[in-house]
Amino acid sequence: MGKTLYLAAFAIGLAGAAFLAVGDPSSSPVTVPATIPATLPAQELALDLGGKATLKLVLIPPGKFLMGSPAAEKGRDRDEVQHEVTISKPFYMGTTPVTVDQFAVFINESGYKTEAEKDGWSYGFEIQEGRLVARNVEGCSWRRPSFDQKGDHPVVQVSWNDAQAFCTWLSKKSGRAVALPTEAQWEYACRAGSTTAYPWGDNPDDGKAWANMADQSLKKKLTVAGAGFCSWDDGFAFTSPVGSFKANAFGLYDMNGNVCQWCQDRYGDYEAGATTDPSGASAGSLRVQRGGSWYNPPERGRSAFRRRCDPGKRYDDDGFRVVVTLLGS
């Protein structure tokens, strides 16, 4: 997105007037009004975690989009009812999922133990005769998932509750309002103006440069297909270093694939009709994950795909990214 478009979208958001459809080539140029403040939020934000670790975020402008999927979308679920959503305020979003190195700083500084560490086991897997066999594994945690990871891989084996603890810690440390994204913020940011099933279009086979999903690399290890494999070989059977694939139009990496990302919301049916800044169901025990993972076939990497999970669940493809809310905006 060009800087002019960003400025226009941001200014309109501040003015509380009609919103510019981000990425809509038919939109007319917009004049920045006189009400625009002298100091705009920076396009990028870097939070110093300590331990030489930094968490980078990018500003997501306000706007309006169609959340959910059209009835004809291949692989669609019934809970993706399409409706208009307005994101009324700009916010920052992590350019990548939180990495192993970043999570380690949190653990080392806070002394927090993840739910898997407290329990002494987690949900892991082993591969037996070409079949992925999921089971409870003693000692399995973010420190020791079911495959090898490096520090720049997305942390896995983290529950929704663990992600909350990270956000609470980083809020105190940074003085910023750090949180998980709402489901609407997540999908708006993932689409980045796109209206197709995936940021790259409607054909899942065109996603090779975009996403780490269940591909031919994984198929070499799992000869017995689970939910299906992508036609491409993205080079990674399990997690990949964050930022290994194309960024979307907002500059966000790994929105589709690599790890599923926890959202703040309780899972439930979408509100009927157009909404502004929805924050999920008001009751219910399940939370939402988005984005699909290295273990998922293409359909689960669709921008509209929703996964509902117990907040204590942790697995080898459960990760998260954060947002920073602009207080007073």
Kindly list the residues in this chain that would bind Ca ion in the complex (CB under 5 A). 212, 215, 234, 236, 294
* Residue 213 CB, nearest approach to Ca ion (Å): 6
Q: Which is nearer to Ca ion, 159 or 256 (CB)?
A: 256
* Residue 305 CB, nearest approach to Ca ion (Å): 17
The token duo for 43 is 């396009």
Place of tokens 């939910």: 227
DSSP one-letter string for 134-177: EEEEET-BTTB-SS---TTSBP-S--HHHHHHHHHHHHHHHSSE
* Residue 118 CB, nearest approach to Ca ion (Å): 31
Burial 151-180 (b: 16+ CB within 10 A, else e): ebbbbbbbbbbbbbbbbebbbebeebebbb
* Residue 95 CB, nearest approach to Ca ion (Å): 20
Q: Which is nearer to Ca ion, 162 or 234 (CB)?
A: 234
Sequence length of the chain is 329
Nearest 5°: CA angle at 94, between 59 and 211?
A: 110
Q: Which is nearer to Ca ion, 243 or 311 (CB)?
A: 243
Q: Which is nearer to Ca ion, 157 or 212 (CB)?
A: 212
Give the integer Cα–Cα distance in Å for 89 and 59.
11
Helix (H) or strand (E) holding 66: strand 63-67
* Residue 259 CB, nearest approach to Ca ion (Å): 12
Q: Which is nearer to Ca ion, 185 or 258 (CB)?
A: 258
Chain center to CA of 208: 19
